Structure 1
Amino acid sequence: MPRSSPIAAVVMHPVRLRIIQIVGTRRATTTELRTALPDVPQATLYRHVAALVEADVLAVVGERRVRGAVERTLALGGQMAHVDHAELREMDEQDLRLSFLTFLANLGETFDRASADGVDGAIRDFLGFGQVQLHVTSEDLGEIQARLGELLAPYLTNEAAGTRTVTLATVLLPEPQRPT
């Protein structure tokens, strides 16, 4: 019987996905997370951070005392916040559907936050979405993913002056098999 994916159970939560998005682009203190996520109560935020640290999705890379409290600096941990193919195969149908819908809801929330002040020229200059059908084998797909990873690598951590952070989301949905 398929079982729920351990990493999916940790990362497929709307608040945790938002935390991962923030820390995925740069190191962040817990104070910076609270500022970036004002709609999340502090205790709830800390509970989700603790779950991500425990799962090694986030790592504590620094601590300092601030007015008697310990402020932690967080970075991505050793465990990728990515549900791989093996884990996707292990999920039962309900967990798979819920994980995908959580991903889509988070993507919609990301758009809502980006456009909260209106969809002005700056957002339109960086906004794009589309859909294309590819005809691939499993090997082709592996090569596409590897080359895409190589192409994107220089843009994942370089916060140079004049750059803007954008979210790139990918979804691969196979068409149903047609009878031959």
Structure 2
Amino acid sequence: MPKKSPIADVVMHPVRLRIIQQVGTRGVTTSELRAALPDVTQATLYRHVAALVEADILAVVDERRVRGAVERTLALGGRMAHVDHAELREMGEQELRQSFLTFLAHLGETFDRASTDGAFRDFLGFGQVQLQVTTADLTEIQARLTELLTPYMTAKRPGSRTVTLATALIPEPDEER
């Protein structure tokens, strides 16, 4: 029986996915997180933030005193909420399905929230394309995408708008088997 992936256990929780989305490419304070997620109790929010920090999904990048309490500013940590191929291979079939469905549900929630914006369709795009690749090709594609996207993952620039780019690589069944 495959062992569970620790990062999947941490990331594939609906509240944690929402926290990661709020942090995005910018730093957010714990107060900003509480305001952005009003349906999540403070204790629950702090418990999930602690789990994400412990797993290096989030990092504390600043702390300051506010009326006697310490307010932390959070940013994406070293692991950047990414489940790598080794961890995907370690997941059982049910865990893999659940992780993917959680990802899709989170993407749907993001779509629903964004669709209330009047300029939503000016920035909306989605599509699907089939590629013929080897594992070496995928490694190169991922490296080149990272290189291409890195300049756009920095702090907000004048005239820019935050968008979510989601990817899913789903191989077709191997016809030779």
TM-score range, shorter chain: over 0.9
Q: SS state of the match for residue 73, structure 2?
A: strand
Q: Deviations over 1:125-178 (max 9, x none)?
A: 100111111111111111111111111110011310110000000000000011
2:143 matches 1:146:
yes
Distance 1:27 1:158 in 2: 9
Q: Which runs of 4+ in 1 moved over 4 A?
A: none
Worse overlay, 149-158 or 69-78: 69-78
What percent of counterpart residues are identical? 79
2:174 matches 1:174:
no
What residue identity is the alignment partner of 1:90? E
2:5 is aligned to 5
2:156 is aligned to 159
Distance 2:45 2:114 in 1: 21
TM-score (norm 2): 0.94
Selected match of 2:131 from 129, 134, 144: 134
2:10 matches 1:15:
no
Note the C-alpha offset of 1:179. 3.2
Judge conservation of contact 2:26–2:155 (CA < 8 Å) in 1.
no
Show the 5 A alignment for 1:75-86: 75-86=75-86
Q: SS state of the match for residue 72, structure 2?
A: strand
What residue identity is the alignment partner of 2:104? L
Worse overlay, 84-93 or 40-49: 40-49
2:110 matches 1:87:
no
The CA RMSD measured in Å over matched residues stands at 1.4
Show the 5 A alignment for 1:98-137: 98-115=98-115, 117=116, 120=118, 122-137=119-134
2:82 matches 1:56:
no
Distance 1:127 1:75 in 2: 25
Show the 5 A alignment for 1:29-40: 29-40=29-40
Structure 1, unaligned runs of 5 or more: none
Distance 2:167 2:47 in 1: 28
What residue identity is the alignment partner of 1:27? G
Q: How many residues matched?
A: 177
Note the C-alpha offset of 1:38. 1.9
What residue identity is the alignment partner of 1:143? E
Note the C-alpha offset of 1:40. 1.7
Note the C-alpha offset of 1:33. 0.7
Note the C-alpha offset of 1:24. 2.8
Q: Deviations over 1:90-138 (max 9, x none)?
A: 00111101110010000001011112x36x3x10010011111111111
